[in-house]
Amino acid sequence: MTKDQSSHETNVENEDTLTNRQGHPITNNQNIRTIGNRGPATLENYDFIEKISHFDRERIPERVVHARGAGAHGYFEAYGAAGDEDISKYTRAKLFQVKGKQTPVFVRFSSVIHGGHSPETLRDPRGFAVKFYTEDGNWDLVGNNLKIFFIRDAIKFPDMIHAFKPDPVTNIQDSERFFDFCASSPESFHMVTFIYSPWGIPANYRMMQGSGVNTYKWVNKHGKAVLVKYHWQPKQGIRNLTQKEAEEIQGKNFNHATQDLYDAIEKGDFPEWELLVQIMSDDDHPELDFDPLDDTKLWPEDQFPWMAVGKMVLNRNPEDYFMEVEQVAFGTGVLVDGLDFSDDKMLQGRTFSYSDTQRHRVGANYLQLPINAPKKRVATNQSGGQMAYRLDRGPFQNPHINYEPSILDGLQEAEQLGEEYTPMIKGNLVRQSIDRQNNTKQAGETYRNFEQWEKTELIANLVNDLANCDKRIQEKMIVLAEEADTDYGLHLREGLAHAKKDGSTNKPLGNRNGDDAPKEAIEKSN
Ligand code: HEM
């Protein structure tokens, strides 16, 4: 009997029977309903119209940044200490207190600038976002692989991203636009130094570090706070690529990082990272030549040692990419008791931006999706909105009392877990940048700490992408390099003097091939 003939037979439903979303068994998934087997089709084709119209809506807007990503499930295991110290001295966050305590996590790694199917070999920071499903609700640590950032004030972020993304007319990424922004934003020079070195192309997601980048606070049971920075250290080691290695990989496989992560987990080779923190007392530290709230700066390890607080193991691949990796929503505002914000101006801007974009990207009820919902009881008086499919109120709750306070019934406020942290804040309302900007000093230190091959790559990559830029931009970048380190400036100046223009007007970042590779600069650096 053919499928056509079977469509009007009595339906027999088994475990594997295909149905539509109304639960109707589908007896013919090969042919739409037509008048005669040559058509035309009829409009009451419910199964076909449901199927095709759902397909038409399969995509949601991709993330405005960090669109390309890969994710995995796992757990975080606390050491019950901060290095050799008692962790409760610094934070009362429950997930850290007891040695061996495990908290489920979901992690999404990403690249930043290009779209959902862009190559994973591009010169770009990598996102490293972790959702901890703690007993007190979710905590998101939304970080990157590098420990610093391009800018220190959130108001510059949309301009920065516009400059780094493709040109609005040609839709081609253009290094002149990138450097035009960076040359005019000298605080970005430290990050540019990392991005143009091999650290700008991690070999894969398993072999890269992570960092919260921004400064947060920890609060203890007495309501006392310290400043804290978070870092993830891969137990697999760290590996970065030269531009040439990246191009070779890209020629064969533009999904290599997603594949590496997925395959490792499938075969039981579970990647691990240790979580380390740096701590500073909660003040503005006038003795330092940088501001602790400036995310373009590293905190020197000799003064602020890295203290291990736990480890993370990724041991389960997502069952469905869209449901988990695409719909997951991380945000810097998602903290639990014992963790707090600092006045880092980037962090404050970010904290508005994430949930704002997620209400647009995923929908008003994005927190009801299984990947985003905490793995604990949720009880709110919120309801309604598009795609609401569950009431947050518990089964024993009076369904009439969807407000608080109430004498009659309903949800009650929780008790404070420890003493409240109530910092005193005083000052004039201003629009001003921070003091102690020191835009190039740490870039010089970073340059001097690079191995020779990293310096060589850095100069070659910078020369390659700057060679086609306006001379004024080149000169500004050289001056910044000279300010950072004499040798750095010298090599950049000489490299650019020798590089010949290839005549093209637009050039993607870090695409070096053929004659315009700045060989002189490479030789000189060696
Ligand atoms: C993603 C904004 C700085 C790390 C995003 C998204 C937005 C955004 C709108 C898309 C989120 C989504 O659709 O779910 C901002 C703003 C920033 C900023 C306004 C500065 C003011 C940073 C910094 C870092 C960072 C400094 C690194 C610490 C990430 C990561 C993601 C992301 C890892 C991807 C999260 C995921 O995998 O879903 N950011 N960002 N961002 N951002 Fe930022």
What are the pLDDT digits (tens) for 318-375? 999 999 999 999 999 999 999 999 999 999 999 999 999 999 999 999 999 999 999 9
Distance 327 CA to ligand 1 centre (A): 15
328 CA closest ligand 1 atom index: 38
State which amino acid sits at residue 350.
R
Residue 507 φ/ψ region, left for φ over 0, alpha for ψ in the -120 to 50 degree band, beta for the rest: beta
Give distance in angstroms: CA of 133 to centre of ligand 1.
20
Residue nearest to atom 12 of ligand 1 (CA): 63
In short, whether 329's Cβ falls inside 6 Å of ligand 1 is yes
Asked if residue 354 belongs to a known ligand binding site, the reply is yes
> Quick check: CB of 112 below 6 Å from ligand 1?
no
- Ligand 1 atom closest to the Cα of residue 158 is 19
Q: Considering 138, 144, 145, 372, which one is annotated as catalytic?
A: 144
User: Is residue 110 within 6 Å of ligand 1 at its C-beta?
Assistant: yes
The interface predicted TM-score (ipTM) is 0.97
Give me the half-sphere count of Cα atoms (radius 13 Å) on the Cβ side of residue 488: 31
Distance 354 CA to ligand 1 centre (A): 7
Nearest of 342, 479, 437, 482 to residue 151 by alpha carbon: 437
pLDDT in tens, the chain (526 residues): 344 444 445 567 898 999 999 999 999 999 999 999 998 999 899 999 999 999 999 999 999 999 999 999 999 999 999 999 999 999 999 999 999 999 999 999 999 999 999 999 999 999 999 999 999 999 999 999 999 999 999 999 999 999 999 999 999 999 999 999 999 999 999 999 999 999 999 999 999 999 999 999 999 999 999 999 999 999 999 999 999 999 999 999 999 999 999 999 999 999 999 999 999 999 999 999 999 999 999 999 999 999 999 999 999 999 999 999 999 999 999 999 999 999 999 999 999 999 999 999 999 999 999 999 999 999 999 989 999 988 887 777 888 999 999 999 999 999 887 899 999 999 999 999 999 999 999 999 999 999 999 999 999 999 999 999 999 999 999 999 999 999 999 999 999 999 865 444 445 576 654 444 444 333 333 2
- State the DSSP code for 323: I
Most informative mutation of 350, 357, 358, 366 for ligand 1 (most atoms within 8 A of CB): 350
Looking at residue 504, what is its pLDDT? Answer: 46
> Which CATH superfamily is 69-368 part of?
Catalase core domain (2.40.180.10)
Compute, in angstroms, the gap from residue 413 CA to the centroid of ligand 1: 32
Is 138 tagged catalytic? Answer: no
* 12 CA from centroid of ligand 1 (Å): 50
Q: Residue 66's CB: how many other CB atoms inside 10 A? A: 21
Of 397, 329, 337, 411, nearest to 368 by C-alpha is 329
Of 73, 84, 86, 78, whose CA–CA distance to 310 is shortest?
Answer: 78
Cβ of 8: how many Cβ atoms within 10 Å? 9
Are 314 and 109 in contact, with CB atoms under 8 Å apart?
no
What pLDDT does 452 receive? 97
66 an active-site residue? Answer: yes
CA separation, residue 482 to residues 376, 441, 477 (Å): 54, 10, 9
pLDDT of res. 290: 98
**How would DSSP label each residue in 69-85?**
EEEEEEEEEE-SSBTTB
| DSSP letters for 428-466 | -------S---TTHHHHHHHHHS-HHHHHHHHHHHHHHH
| pLDDT tens digit sequence for 185-225 | 999 999 999 999 999 999 999 999 999 999 999 999 999 99
Residue 110: closest CA among 82, 77, 53, 72 = 72
Q: Phi and psi of 416, rounded to 5°?
A: -65, 130
- The response to whether residue 330 sits with its C-beta less than 6 Å from ligand 1 reads yes
Extents of the domains making up the chain = 69-368, 440-501
**Sign (positive or negative) of CA dihedral 24, 27, 31, 35:** negative
Quote the DSSP letter at residue 397: S
Q: Would you give the distance in Å from CA 301 to the centre of its chain?
A: 24
* Residue 64 CA, closest ligand 1 atom number: 10
User: Cα(15)–Cα(359) distance, rounded to whole angstroms?
Assistant: 36
CA-63 nearest atom, ligand 1? 13
Q: Is 321 in the pocket of ligand 1 (CB under 6 A)?
A: no
| Ligand 1 midpoint to CA 86 (Å) | 32
Of 59, 65, 232, 258, the one to substitute when testing ligand 1's pocket (max ligand atoms within 8 A of C-beta) is 65
Q: Is the CB of 161 under 6 A from ligand 1?
A: no
Report the C-alpha dihedral over residues 71, 72, 75, 78, rounded to 10 degrees: -40
